[in-house]
Amino acid sequence: MRRLLIAPLALLAVGSAGCSTFSRNDTVASIGDAELTRDDFEDMVDSDLGRQLVNELENDDRVAGDAARQVITAWIVSTGVADVSPIDPAELEAAGSQAEQSFGAAWTDAPEPLRELVRLNSAIGTLNQSGVIDTEAVRTSIIAADVYVDPRYGRWDVASLSVEPLGGAPPPTDLIVS
């Protein structure tokens, strides 16, 4: 007997995405003019460093939805912060050196877009702790920004400034055929 379990939300996402999705077929997320391409995103989450950062073990070459949304959220927010409060290159370099010491070969082998995200995120954390970043200005700017998230990964929630699953409950993670 074969049972096919299909997430109704996935069908809803395809139906509600509209024709504009086709013009963004290679875009996982964007904020303003910056885009996270599908290739860059897949390289990020498929790398050893990417899996370490989201505490994800290899699982049949798939990354759990929550882990994917964490990476997309980090990219959107970090990009938004950098747009409002440009980060000093010296801060980015220091963050990269620290990450290289912490992650070793996983850092060296990581794709550049992920290394860029880690450097940016780390530098932002340091600057935020020291009070350099105007968090209210950043929040206001990100809320007002044109943010896009591919519905295959979820939706942008302005209230929480994060990528959330479509609908009220997380969709099933697997297609089951038995």
Orientation of helix 38-46 relative to helix 65-84, angle to 10°: 120
pTM of the model: 0.75
Nearest partner of 44 among 34, 53, 32, 35, judged by Cα? 53
Confidence at residue 174, expressed as pLDDT on a 0 to 100 scale = 46
Confidence at residue 154, expressed as pLDDT on a 0 to 100 scale = 92
pLDDT per residue rounded down to tens, the chain (178 residues): 333 333 332 322 333 344 444 456 799 999 999 999 999 998 998 888 988 887 765 555 556 777 788 899 999 999 999 988 888 899 999 999 999 999 999 999 999 999 999 999 999 998 888 888 888 988 999 999 999 999 989 999 999 999 999 875 444 444 444 3
DSSP 59: B
Question: Residue ranges of the alpha helices (H) in the chain?
Answer: 8-17, 20-23, 38-46, 48-53, 65-84, 89-103, 105-109, 112-129, 135-144
